[in-house]
Structure formats: C-alpha cells, structure tokens
Amino acid sequence: MTAGEQARQNQVYEKSFSLCSHALENLNRLPGGDGQEQAITLKRKAWLGQGDAALMSGDYLSALTAYEAAFTALRSEIWSIGSYAAAVQ
C-alpha cells in the first residue's frame, strides 16, 4: 500500500492503480478467520487508492467502481462492529 500511495503522490497514477490492484490480489488470497476484519480494512484502503488514482487520471468509471467497492467494505466493517457490540452485551 505504501508504494501505491507514494506513486499517487508523485502523480504516477497508472502505477498507483496497478500497485493497489496487486495489493487486492494478495489480500484476496488470504485465508478467512481472525484476520478477516483487518483484511477488509486493508481492501477498503486499496480500493480508495485505486479510486483516487483513477479519478486523478480521468478514468471516472474505474474510480466509481473502486469507490463503490470501498463503500461496500466500509458497510461490512460497520456491520461487523455492530454485530460484535451486540454479542458482547
């Protein structure tokens, strides 16, 4: 992720998008389990990075797709936090 963020800051948007895509591929290979919530958070950050890179390069459809994926991941995070809080009470 850091490489993708650095590429975006240096206005190398295609490289940033590619690095975020690579991060997502690797995150999708992780097994489920205890680290699943952390994986969702990292995926959300990667999708936001993709969205930002696509937006800055003028690829609005890819930006929209990435932002929608990030929003879906955020909803999943909020839902799991709410489920956990309800289970603890």
For the stretch 15-32, pLDDT in tens is 888 899 999 999 888 877
Cα-based angle 41, 45, 48 (whole degrees, multiple of 5): 140
pLDDT value at position 46? 93
Span 38-48, average pLDDT: 88
Q: Which two tokens stand for residue 59?
A: 């690829």
Residues 6 or more apart in contact with residue 85 via CB below 8 angstroms: none
Whole-angstrom Cα distance, residue 27 to residue 78?
A: 20
pLDDT value at position 79? 74
Could you tell me the residue range of the domain that residue 6 belongs to? 2-88
Whole-angstrom Cα distance, residue 15 to residue 30?
A: 23
Instruction: State the total domains in the chain.
Output: 1
Question: Is the pLDDT score of 84 beyond 70?
Answer: no
Whole-angstrom Cα distance, residue 66 to residue 46?
A: 9
For the stretch 58-79, pLDDT in tens is 999 999 999 999 999 888 777 7
Whole-angstrom Cα distance, residue 42 to residue 58?
A: 24
Task: Spell out where 5-60 has E strands.
Answer: none
